[in-house]
Every structure is written in structure tokens, then in C-alpha cells.
Structure 1
Amino acid sequence: MTGPGRPAVVDRHRAVDEQQANKDLARYWFEEGWTRGNLDVADSIFAPDFVLSGRTVGPEGPRRSVRNRRTAFAGLEVSIGLQVAEGPWVATWFTTRATHVAEFAGVPPTGRLVVSEGIQLWRVEDGLVVEDRNVFDRWAVVSQLRGSG
């Protein structure tokens, strides 16, 4: 038994439900924020003291990232390949596809279709994302823009 009079199976179900909720939260941000450009949802997803790559940026940090990317790349679509959750953490492997229409990383618009992949690792507390650690192959994007990838 775990807790006062509760069988361990109840706690396992609660953990599974929480992990699924964390995965759903990440999927919601990719669909609403990245693909649809609905940045208003950031306040309901990211904590006021949200940390991105070691810096406290709050919900404005993710909004700025999406705004910048959607400005440089038209028709941005994000697809989720895999999600894994463990405790408060959720990892999402994703692929983006978009057309380069404005300067990005010092490269003027090329009109090229760019495909890239990344992994986002979020820590969620009380239904809000408090931390993001991510890996995004920026060099692969720049290589495609320059016609060498």
C-alpha cells in the first residue's frame, strides 16, 4: 500500500494520468502555438518563471521563439514522432516543415522547403511547463538554406 489506506495501483494510475496530461500539454503547444500560430495559449502552458536553456524567460520566451520562426518560415507544420514521459518530465521528438520566406540565421529568403528535427524536454509542475531543455539542429537548417543539406 502507498499512502494512508491506498493501494499502490491507485498511485500508479495517478502517475500514468499525470504523464499523459504532460504529453497532451506538449502536443497542444506544438499544434496551437507552432502550427496554428495561436500564441495566446502560452500563458496557460508556461509558468510565469519558465526557464528556457537556463534562462528565466516566462511565457514570452516561447512566444518569441514561435513568432521569429513563423516570420522566417511560411506554412510551418510540426509533426510529433514520439513522446516519452517519466515523472514530471516529457520528451517530444518532432519534425518541422516550412518554406523559407525571410532572413534566418543571416541567410536571406531562399523559397526552399526546409525539414528539420528536434527534441524538446519539458519539466511540468502543477499543469504548467517550468523548464525546457531542447536540442535543435540549427546547422542542418542553415545547410538546407544554403543548398548544401
Structure 2
Amino acid sequence: MTAERTDTIEERRRLPQRWADEVHEKHNLAFIDDYHASDWVGHFDGTDLTNAEYKDMQRELINGFPDAEFTFGPVIVEGDAVAGHWVMTGTHTGEFVGLKPTGRTVRVSGTFLTRYDEDGRAVETWENIDQFGMLQQLGVAPEEFTLGGLARTLVNLVKSGR
């Protein structure tokens, strides 16, 4: 991405959708190497990830939800930062984090904030994902969170080998 500068707000606003189109529509994980600076760091729900770990996370998501589609909005640009909300829809047709395919379609949302360098490469990302909502939609976690529901969730996770 170093050859393509992102000098306008509109160009920066399109960066997240460009990432989704390359990584999830085209399954082009190599794009991450161009999109991220070599020293990029990600903060995902309290866990720090390197580029390699992030690519593994995306590979896992593509394996579990090969038809995943991301939509973004609103996306806000302020200086070197791009922030927004996304929604992913996809069908669980492959193994995902140790869960066998359920055939269920999920709709998961998240928020992100990414800082970019002067060449338009991501240098740091913070992201929060509704992981519990995804587990509910996959039938692993209970619809209502109760003590009994927590026990069933733990049993389901143990049965799935997680």
C-alpha cells in the first residue's frame, strides 16, 4: 500500500471496506501484509495480536465462514485514525475455533479504531467483537444468560473440545 497514499478523508473512509473485500470476499490473506505496517499491533477484546496471529485469526474466520460479508457504517475519519462499526454475516459451514459446522447463519457486530501511518498502512487497531452473541447464534451459548445457561455453555464448550 505504500504506493497508494490515502490523502483524502473519503479514501481513508473506504479502507475498512477495501480490507473486507480483499480478505473475506477474495480470501486474500496476503493483502494483510500490504495493509498492515510490519510492526502493526492489534488489540482485540483485550488480547494483543501480532500480524502473524491476526492472519491466523482471519484464516480461522474464513475457514468457518467462507461466505462472510462485512458492511461498515458509520465510518469516521479524524486525522490518522479511522473508526467505525461493522456487521458480519456468514454461514458456519466449516470448523471454527474448534466448533464443528452448524450450518447456522450468524450476524455479528463490532467496533474498531485503526491508526494509519503517512503511507496509508495500519499501525495499530483496537477492536471489540460481540463474541458471546456469535456463540448464542451458533447454539453454543444460551439465549438468556442465567446460571443454568452458563453451566450449559460450559458443557457445550467441553463437548466441542474447546
- TM-score where L is the length of structure 1: 0.78
Tell me whether 1:136 sits opposite 2:125 in the alignment: no
Shift of 1:105: 4.4
Shift of 1:56: 5.6
Q: Structure 1 unaligned runs (5+)?
A: 1-15
Query: In the alignment, what sits opposite 1:114?
Result: 106
CA contact (8 A) 1:32 1:38 kept: yes
**Any idea what the Cα deviations from partners look like across 1:7-35, whole Å, max 9, x if unmatched?**
xxxxxxxxx94433322222210111122
Which of 14, 19, 35 aligns to 1:24? It is 14
Letter in 2 for 1:43: D
Query: In the alignment, what sits opposite 2:50?
Result: 57
Equivalent residue runs for 1:28-107 within 5 Å: 28-53=18-43, 55=48, 57-58=50-51, 60-107=52-99
Structure 1 CA distance for aligned equivalents of residues 24 and 54 of structure 2 = 10
Which secondary structure does the structure 2 equivalent of 1:37 belong to?
Answer: coil
**Any idea what the Cα deviations from partners look like across 1:78-135, whole Å, max 9, x if unmatched?**
1122211111110131111111123334533211011111112101112110001001
**Any idea what the Cα deviations from partners look like across 1:47-93, whole Å, max 9, x if unmatched?**
000001163613x3432222110111131111122211111110131
Which secondary structure does the structure 2 equivalent of 1:95 belong to?
Answer: strand
The Cα RMSD (Å) is 2.1
CA contact (8 A) 1:81 1:92 kept: yes
Which secondary structure does the structure 1 equivalent of 2:27 belong to?
Answer: coil
Which piece of structure 1 moves more, 24-33 or 102-111? 102-111
Which secondary structure does the structure 2 equivalent of 1:31 belong to?
Answer: helix
Structure 2 CA distance for aligned equivalents of residues 119 and 77 of structure 1 = 15
CA contact (8 A) 2:83 2:114 kept: yes
Structure 1 CA distance for aligned equivalents of residues 32 and 124 of structure 2 = 14
- Percent identity over the alignment? 28
- TM-score where L is the length of structure 2: 0.73
Aligned length: 133
CA contact (8 A) 1:19 1:88 kept: no
Q: Structure 2 unaligned runs (5+)?
A: 1-5, 144-162
